[in-house]
Structure 1
Amino acid sequence: MSTDTLIRTGEAPFPLTGINKPCNTWYTVCGDLKSGKTPLIVLHGGPGIAHNYLLPLFDLYASHAIPVVLYDQIGTGLSTHFPEKMGDGEFWVEQLFLDQLNGLIEHLKIREFDILGHSWGGMLGARFATSRPFGLRRLVLADAPASAQLWCAAEDTLRATLPQDVQDALTKGDTEGTTESPEYKAAYSVYFERFVCTIVPLPDDIVKAFEAISEDPTVLFTMWSNLDFGSNGTLQGWSVIDDLHKITAPTLVVHGRWDVAQDSVVEPFFKYIPRVRWYTFGESSHFPHYEERERYMQIVGGFLADD
C-alpha cells in the first residue's frame, strides 16, 4: 500500500507566555485520523533531533492501518526555533515539551491515541504517561533510558569495549578539547557504527535529522550536552524511575542488543510499570526501526493493534 497520497502536513499554534513572536508546532500525518483506528503520536529524540529519522514508522499505516503523527518539538526542525534561548535552563524544561504535546493533541482533536517515544522522546513519553492523561491507550518506550545516569553509565561501559587505540583517541579528544580533529572523529565513528546505527552509509533521513542539530544546537546543548559522551545539561539528573508505577497504560519496551539503551538502562521500565512487555532486537543498535525494519513493524504494530 502506497502512503504517499495519504500524507499531509500542518502547523499547530503553540503560544508561549512572554514570547512576542508566533510559535508553531510543525506536524505531518500519515493516514486518516477519523478512520476509527487509534492514531500513534511519535515523539522524537535528541532533544533537538528532527522528526525525519522516524519516517519509517509510516510503515505502520501500510502494515496495520494505524494513522501516524510525527512532529518537530519546539526549537527543532520545522517548528519554531529560539536560538536566543541558548543556555536558558528556565525556558528549556520538560514541561515545555509536555505542554506542546498536549497542544498538538488538542489541535488535531484526537480523543484516544497511542504514544511512541524514541530515546529522549521515550523519556518524555514516560513522564507524560505517569500523569495518566485522558485518551492515552498504549505506550511504546523505544531505545529510551529510565534515567540519565543509567544512560551515561552504559555509554562508559560500551566505550570500554572498543579497541584501545579508539578509546585513547576519544579520551584525548575529550580531555584536550580536540573533538573536531580527524583522529577523534574517526574514533567516534567506530563507536557510532557499533552502538548508534550499524547501517553504513547512514540512511538519508537519519543524516537530515542530525543536520538539525548542526543547524541549531540550542535545545541539545542546553538540555543534554555539548559533548558526545555524558550529560552536562539540565537533564543530567533526570529520572522517571520513582514514578513508573503510576503508568497504567499497557506499555511495550523495545531496544537493540547493541543499543546504548542497554538492558540496565531500560530494566526499570520492565520492573516498575505494572502492565509491560519487553522486546530486544538482536541485530540492532539504537535505530532498530531501520536496522530490523520489517520485524520492528511486526512487533510494534502487533502490540498497538492488540485489543
Structure 2
Amino acid sequence: MKEGYIAVTGGNVYYKIVGDGSKTPIILLHGGPGGTHVPFMHLENLGNDRQVIFYDQLGSGKSDRPNDHSLWNIDRFVEELGQIREALGLSKLHILGHSWGTMLAASYLLNQPEGVQSIIFSSPCLSVPQWEKDQALHLKQLPEEVQEILSRCEREGTTDTEEYKTAMKEFNKRFVYRLDSKPKEMESPYAKSNSIVYNTMWGPSEFCTTGNLKGYDVTERLKEIQLPAMFTCGRYDEATPQTVEGYSHCLPGSIFHVYEQSAHLPYLEEPAEYIGRVRSFLDHVEKQ
C-alpha cells in the first residue's frame, strides 16, 4: 500500500493506492457529497489484478477541510479529479463512481479526457429531478406518522432536529442500507461524512434536495460518453432499478445489473457479488 497527499485547488487531498497487479488501474469516486473512501474498503480485493486508487475528496475523511463554502461545487471537484490523475501519472485508468460519485464521473467524462478505459456507474444519480420523483414514491412507503414528521420539518425548516433525524432513519433502513450493522471500519472518525459539504451541495437528506446540485441532469448528454460502461444498483436502492436501467439505454452496449439483496450500498451489503461483477466487467473491457 502507498498513501500520501496531493495538492489540489483549495487544499490537500488524501489518497491511498492498494495492489500491484499489472492491469489498468481503477480510481474510485466515493459518494456524498462529503463522504469518504472508507466504505469502499472491500474493493481493496481488486488489487490482485491492478492498482486501486482510493481518495477522500477535499473536505472529507483524511483530506483538508477548508472553511470556504465556495469550494463546494461540482466544477471544482471535476478539476480536483484531473489534478489527482496528473499527480499520480494515471495516463490510462478505469473509473468507478458511486452515487454522488457518478455525478462527478459523468461531469468529468463529458469533458472528453483522454485515457479513460471504462466507467462504472454504481447506484447513479444522473438526474436530480428524476431522483426527487423516485424518492417521493419511496417516502409514500413509510408509515404515515414518519411521513408527517419529515414533511413538517422540511416545511418548517427544522431538519436539524433529532425528530427529523430519527424519522430519516426509517427511510435509510429501507432504501440506503438494509443490514443490521455496519463493518467496524465505519466507526472510524475518518469515515464520518462532512455535513457542511453535503448540505451545501445536496441538502438536509437524501430525499430533500436544496443545494447547488438541485436541477443537475445529464441524461440527454450521456450518449456523449462513448466508453464501455456498466450501470448497477440494488433491488431496494434509492437509485431505482427502473431509473438506472433507463440510464443504461442512453449508452448503447452498456451493461446493467441489479444486486438482489442490496439497497444503496451493495459494496457493503453484498461485497463478494459486487467485487465479482466489477472484476468481470473490467476483464471483459480489457479483453476487447
Same fold (TM over 0.5): yes
Alpha carbons of structure 1 residues 210 and 26: separation in structure 2 relative to 1, 3 Å = closer
Deviation at 1:110, TM superposition (A): 1.6
Tell me which amino acid in the other structure corresponds to 1:198.
R
The match for 2:269 is 291
The residue that corresponds to 1:187 in the other structure is 167
Q: Secondary structure at the match of 2:264?
A: coil
Partner letter of residue 296 of structure 1? Answer: Y
- Give the unaligned 5+ runs of structure 2: none
Aligned residues: 285
Query: Does 2:207 correspond to 1:232?
Result: no
CA apart distance, 1:222: 1.3
Offset at residue 208 of structure 1 (A): 4.3
> Of the candidates 177, 180, 183, which is equivalent to residue 197 of structure 1?
177
Equivalent residue in structure 2 for 1:25, among 3, 6, 13: 13
| Alignment check: 8 A CA contact 1:53 1:209 kept | no
Partner of 1:4: none
Amino acid at match of 2:150: L
What is aligned with 1:13?
A: 7
> Quick one: distance in 2 between partners of 1:211 and 1:112?
29
Alignment of 1:65-76 (within 5 A): 65-76=49-60
Change (3 A) 1:209 1:52: farther
* Deviation readout 1:110-143 (Å, 9 max, x if unpaired): 2210000000001111222223321100110001
Match of 1:253 in 2: 231
CA RMSD of aligned residues (A): 2.0
* Residues 72 and 201, structure 2, Cα contact 8 Å, conserved in 1: yes
- Evaluate the alpha carbon distance shift between residue 67 and residue 211 of structure 1 in structure 2; reply closer, same or farther with a 3 A threshold: closer
Q: Which whole-Å deviations, capped at 9, do the CAs of 1:29-78 have from their partners, x for residues lacking one? A: 1112xx4311110001111011111111112224xx23210101112222
- Taking the aligned partners of 1:206 and 1:236, their CA distance within structure 2 comes to 28
Q: Which residue of 1 aligns with 2:104?
A: 124
* Maintained 8 Å contact 1:31/1:68: yes
Q: Secondary structure at the match of 1:236?
A: coil
In 2, the alpha carbon distance for the partners of 1:274 and 1:121 equals 22
- Runs (5+) with no aligned partner, structure 1: 1-6
TM superposition shift of 1:177: 4.2
The aligned counterpart of 1:50 is 36
2:22 and 2:181 map into 1 onto residues whose CA distance is 39
- In structure 1, the residue matched to 2:126 is 146
Query: What's the CA shift for 1:210?
Result: 8.8
Give the distance between the partners of 2:124 and 2:151, measured in 1 at CA: 25
**Alpha-carbon distance, 1:185 to partner:** 3.5
Distance 1:175 1:111 in 2: 48
Q: Normalising by the residue count of structure 2, what TM-score does the alignment of the two structures yield? A: 0.91
Q: For 2:104 and 2:189, how far apart are their aligned partners in 1?
A: 18
- Which amino acid is 1:124 matched to? L
Deviation at residue 169 of structure 1 after TM alignment: 2.9
Quick check: 1:42–1:115 contact (8 Å CA) kept in 2?
Answer: yes
**Contact 1:150/1:264 (8 A) holds in 2:** no
How is 1:28-43 mapped onto 2 (pairs within 5 angstroms)? 28-32=16-20, 35-43=21-29
Q: Output the amino acid matched with 1:280.
A: V
Distance 1:234 1:101 in 2: 19
Residues 148 and 238, structure 1, Cα contact 8 Å, conserved in 2: yes
Residues 106 and 225 of structure 1: CA distance in aligned 2, closer, same or farther (over 3 Å)? same
> Structure 1 residues 242, 163: CA separation in 2 closer, same or farther (over 3 Å shift)?
same
1:133 aligns with one of 100, 110, 113:
113
What is the match of residue 115 of structure 1? Answer: 95
CA contact (8 A) 2:61 2:190 kept: no
- Residues 1:185 and 1:99: Cα distance change in structure 2 (over 3 Å): closer
